[in-house]
Structure 1
């Protein structure tokens, strides 16, 4: 049985993409080791048919975290024998590439985003230069590279001069997943799920709530760098009573919660190519829950909405425009119902079962 290390800097309890990849490879007969980080409040890991390793760190953010985590990851990877090492994003690529090269085994690179183009990096020249050096060192050494969407695959392929495959970040199709069976009634829940980080349009969403009537509520499921600032902003809003922070939820809890929403939020600022060419997992999570969503007018979301009619686009992040778009949809229940049904019809086509087969075929080629 071939042993594969999957490396990430995330808390494994909440990283749905890494959980799905580990499950797909384990089902394919591989001995999978999923390696992530331990945070002070990480919940206990749930039993799984693959190994799960959490690396504890004294530092939890900034350059000291990355240095400490990469050192500990390098030591772990060096100690054990592997048949392949798969690095998720640039922040685990360096130790993965070094050990894979030393052991003369295949290196795999899984780009969840265009790392040097995320808002936290793109405006910091030295930080961006350092991560770009990691990318230029590691990515050409990968025998297999893949990312979350076709547009991003094209951009990364041009940037690093090698092909990138596409493995979409879509949910497992589960016909048992609860979905709404009756037209929604007030309060109309607008749900955001994901990190509370820069560039996600969350300030705009909170400001828009003050322009919307009492029939609307905003639920934010997640935590991040802006958690404290957004809570302060919401507390000062005239709509404070209609803005709820749900915290970071386990994926199973989130799957049950999402169908309660009337509208999903996937708002992004055009801060770097990573967001502009993104295809976020939340876009598909909303679809699988039967929830129409509001997306930025970026290429992947434009194609998703134009082809499948599962949501709406906003041209810019403006509270008045956002509030107007939401109210217009609320006045057209038949339009919402049509989007809802299109979401449900699309679930069988855009699901992890198809992506898992493709993923296993890609990995099988490593040793062909």
Structure 2
């Protein structure tokens, strides 16, 4: 949906008006709002049409760093949340913390549906030919690049970064400042299908974020499961939702912080301990048979089946 404004309050005002009038002329049996930035037009359209409405809470929207650090903006979004979420009887989210948080605040009982990748048979447990660590996703603030890039000075391996974002130029400068142009490569954006083909050939993934707000602390990033689905080990920050899953499946090497010395030690541990490496890799190969969209989609289908039965 194209908007005249590209950022700021006017973008959200314009986007919500455009979305309202777009939905006004769409036929549907139910309407799903994805996060708070779509919830108002979905709510008012559902009232206008007397139709079913669903809230898909991908994250703790009001606790994102760019919102919680700006009091006036935070107050506006919190007001929208207080008004709208209690009016969405049906919904789902990605983890138990957000589920419990919304239940305590707004007395809603949402299901949990995680955004898991599709299961593919064509992945092998072969040892990679080279030692290349991979990061994939948004190259944004709060992703730990300030400590991650310098750690590569002490690791005998290559590091490839797939993606772009608001910290991309600063990441490039960090690579130059640490004289790591030959070891750290910025690969830019690639199509998901291509990245899906590249990742299984990597040595291990990097799954870290900074603790700069509840939204990130209780996040459950797609790449956590993407690395698992690719059948490769990963170095992962031990935030609660990641730890809970890894305690059960044991496919990630968990770290308590993202200091340079911690990251350096974790990467060298995987390189120098082939027994641990193969154990994590085999566990990923096993976990992917359970943690996949073919299984998780059954929960979503049951949710919508129940939605139409209850109305």
Tell me whether the two structures share a fold, i.e. TM-score over 0.5: yes
What does residue range 41-56 of structure 1 map to in structure 2 within 5 Å?
A: 55-56=1-2
User: Is residue 2:128 matched to residue 1:184?
Assistant: yes
* Equivalent in the alignment of 1:115: 61
Of 209, 217, 221, the match for 2:158: 217
For 1:68 and 1:227, the matched residues in 2 are separated by 28
- Deviation at 1:267? 0.5
What does residue range 187-202 of structure 1 map to in structure 2 within 5 Å?
A: 188-202=131-145
* Equivalent in the alignment of 1:207: 150
Query: Which structure: greater helix fraction?
Result: 2
For 1:304 and 1:361, the matched residues in 2 are separated by 23
User: Is residue 2:67 matched to residue 1:87?
Assistant: no
Of 43, 65, 85, the match for 1:97: 43
* Equivalent in the alignment of 2:171: 230
- Deviation at 1:180? 4.8
Write the deviation string for residues 110-159 of structure 1: whole angstroms up to 9, x where unpaired.
Answer: 11111111112121111111111111122112131111122322223223
* Equivalent in the alignment of 1:74: 20
For 2:64 and 2:81, the matched residues in 1 are separated by 14
CA RMSD of aligned residues (A): 1.5
- Deviation at 1:170? 0.8
User: Is residue 2:300 matched to residue 1:359?
Assistant: yes
Three-state SS of the structure 2 residue aligned to 1:210 is helix
- Deviation at 1:184? 2.8
User: Is residue 2:230 matched to residue 1:286?
Assistant: no
* Equivalent in the alignment of 1:329: 270
8 Å CA contact retained: 1:223, 1:247: yes
Seen in structure 2, the aligned counterparts of structure 1 residues 64 and 179 have a Cα distance that, compared at 3 Å, is farther
- Deviation at 1:338? 1.0
For 1:322 and 1:216, the matched residues in 2 are separated by 13
8 Å CA contact retained: 2:235, 2:266: no
* Equivalent in the alignment of 1:150: 96
Normalised by the length of structure 1, the TM-score is: 0.80
Of 158, 161, 167, the match for 2:113: 167
**Structure 1 portions without partners, runs of 5+:** 1-54
For 1:349 and 1:237, the matched residues in 2 are separated by 41
- Deviation at 1:306? 2.1
Normalised by the length of structure 2, the TM-score is: 0.94
For 1:234 and 1:184, the matched residues in 2 are separated by 25
For 2:16 and 2:124, the matched residues in 1 are separated by 42
For 1:58 and 1:196, the matched residues in 2 are separated by 26
For 2:257 and 2:196, the matched residues in 1 are separated by 29
**Structure 2 portions without partners, runs of 5+:** none
Write the deviation string for residues 84-129 of structure 1: whole angstroms up to 9, x where unpaired.
Answer: 1101111111111111122111111111111111112121111111
8 Å CA contact retained: 2:125, 2:282: no
For 1:155 and 1:202, the matched residues in 2 are separated by 30
Three-state SS of the structure 1 residue aligned to 2:182 is helix
Seen in structure 2, the aligned counterparts of structure 1 residues 231 and 63 have a Cα distance that, compared at 3 Å, is farther
Three-state SS of the structure 2 residue aligned to 1:206 is helix
Write the deviation string for residues 248-296 of structure 1: whole angstroms up to 9, x where unpaired.
Answer: 2222111111112111111011111111112211111111101111111
8 Å CA contact retained: 1:120, 1:198: no
